């Protein structure tokens, strides 16, 4: 199974509003996506975090590159900063472990890093 962890912090009031107009539909899209096993969200230390488990990395990538999620990725640098981390596992981590992995190993995405995978 493929685990994907994201932690995003909206930029200012406009970023906050735009973030949520994209985040809610993206989460609903993820809940219905092919290959989704688990889809969770949580607010941790000022970050809006997602923890998803997929049957495969390819299914996660197909979701990531489609629908409202791809629209969100295209404006990400205008509305938020944050990190992503993904890996293969036999188990879904607890939130404590997931957020620790995100902080330790996550790829940071900000205005100077336009590559969002």
How would you write the pLDDT of the chain (117 residues) with one tens digit per residue? 999 999 999 888 888 888 889 999 999 999 999 999 999 999 999 999 999 999 999 999 999 999 889 888 888 888 889 999 999 999 999 999 999 999 999 988 765 544 433
pLDDT of residue 25: 93
The whole-number pLDDT of residue 45 equals 93
Angle CA(110)–CA(46)–CA(19) in degrees, nearest 5? 60
In-domain check, residue 74 = yes
Q: Is residue 7 part of a domain?
A: yes
CATH number of the domain enclosing 63: 3.30.70.100
Q: Which domain holds residue 10?
A: 2-109
What does the DSSP 8-state code read for residue 17? H
> What's the pLDDT score for residue 117?
38
- Strand-pair partners of 42: 49
Give pTM, 2 decimals: 0.87
The answer to whether residue 117 is domain-embedded is no
End-to-end CA distance of the chain: 18
pLDDT at 109: 76
Is 26 part of any domain? yes
Residue 17 inside a domain? The answer is yes
Q: What are phi and psi of 24, to 5 degrees?
A: -65, -50
> How many domains does the chain divide into?
1
51: left (phi over 0), alpha (psi -120 to 50) or beta: beta
Residue 56 lies in a domain: yes
Domain annotation covers residue 67: yes
Q: Is position 116 within any domain?
A: no
Identify the three-state secondary structure at position 49.
strand
């Amino acid at each position: 199974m493929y685990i994907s962890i994201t932690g995003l912090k909206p930029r200012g009031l406009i970023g906050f509003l735009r973030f949520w107009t994209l985040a809610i539909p993206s989460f609903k899209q993820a809940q219905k996506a092919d290959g989704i096993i688990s889809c969770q969200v949580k607010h941790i230390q000022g970050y809006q975090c997602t923890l998803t488990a997929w049957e495969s990395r390819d299914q996660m990538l197909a979701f990531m590159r489609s629908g409202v999620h791809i629209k969100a990725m295209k404006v990400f640098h205008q509305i938020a900063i944050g990190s992503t981390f993904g890996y293969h596992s036999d188990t879904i981590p607890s939130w404590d472990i997931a957020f620790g992995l995100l902080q330790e190993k996550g790829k940071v995405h900000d205005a100077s890093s336009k590559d969002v995978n």
